[in-house]
Amino acid sequence: MEKIGRYRLDRRLGAGSFATVWLGHDDDLDVPVAVKVLAENWAANDDVRNRFLAEARIMRRIHDRRIVQVYDIGTLEDGRPYFVMDYIDGGSMNDLRKQIIPPAQALRLCAEACRAIEVLHSNDVIHRDVTPGNLLLSRTPTGETRVLIADLGVAKSMVDVAGATMTAGTPSYMAYEQAAGLGPLDRRADIYSLTAVTYAMLTGSPPFPVRTIADIVARDPNLAPAPIAERIGAPPILDALMISGLAMDPNRRPPTASLLADALDGIAAQMEPMTGEATVTTAPPAADQGGPAYGRPAPPVQSYPDDAGARSYPPSQPPGDQAYPPYGGQQPQYAYAGGPPPGPVAVADEPGRRSAAYYVLVGVAAVALFVTSMFVTVLVLR
């Protein structure tokens, strides 16, 4: 396609299972735009079509600089709906996840993401698919870095979320109750995802090596994320916050995204004097009514080789199989209702590593197999 409505198309930005996004240009207003078009194979599916249109309505209804704004909608000649959004040219947080950025800067950006999600929550909407790729970056003319929410294709109103009929989202960042279909969901599902995004931004990979929804449901409820504070030069309270935010029990997570944002900013503030990092200029917490500003792309950062899409920053020795005491051995201000999880806390292995228990089990199985075969052999000889 070369044109949709009055919008001239330049190139395709990306395509997913349900839609394609094009970079276009509004010649009348002389501004770049992003045009999202429903995929042909889903045009006749009423459920998918309604979700597509609902996404546009939510983004249009919420007027906030932290939400990508929709300002036009229409239908192609073949009946497929499309909507037109502001084009955000600073990339996404997923681009930064694969590169080296200072940990304090990552914490500041994740705090901004939390405040953007809080905007949705204050409008009685949960996102249900918070990932680094759905968090876009924009630089304002004053040098502020803004994090904007995009892709609300599976977002639901908290009023009607109990009627959701499908499990949708990205497994690596999905809360247990969402994967298991336990409902109704509330904002704490997004808070789990925000914590997982923060962990991925600090280490290069999500906190748990899950690939499917079944992996999430089968996960040990006492499994805690591998501690990361020491190897990135953060105060120990960071590990306590990660354990709290990634708890299977929603009651153990921070109750609101704004509280999680304040906690992340507090940790970043402690790290900046120790590491000498320059403070990242981000948008102030108070929301305004203007749309997202356009400016320069996000500042360039040093490239980091990405073997399998997940690397640690900075490189360090893995924590091994040592059990990590919940909340650093004390009850911090970021441990919410319910306290630490009952029983021993296991620690998730580093990506690509096996725990000692794994090798012990393999050895026991091998010995058992050998004994069984010898027993059968003796019986046959008799």
- Please classify residue 366 by burial: count the beta carbons closer than 10 Å to its beta carbon, then call 0-12 exposed, 13-18 middle and 19+ buried: exposed
Contact 272, 279 (CB under 8 A): yes
- Active-site hit among 26, 64, 86, 129: 129
Strand order in the sheet with 7-15: 3-4, 7-15, 19-26, 31-38, 81-86, 70-75
Q: Is 124 a catalytic residue?
A: no
| Residue partners of 310: CB distance under 8 A and separation at least 6 | 203, 204, 205, 206, 351
Q: Residue for token digits 């349900």?
A: 18
Amino acid identity of 368? A
How far apart CA 31 and CA 25 sit, in angstroms, is 6
The structure tokens listed for 264 are 């992340």
At 79, give phi and psi (nearest 5°). 95, -5
* Residues marked as catalytic: 129
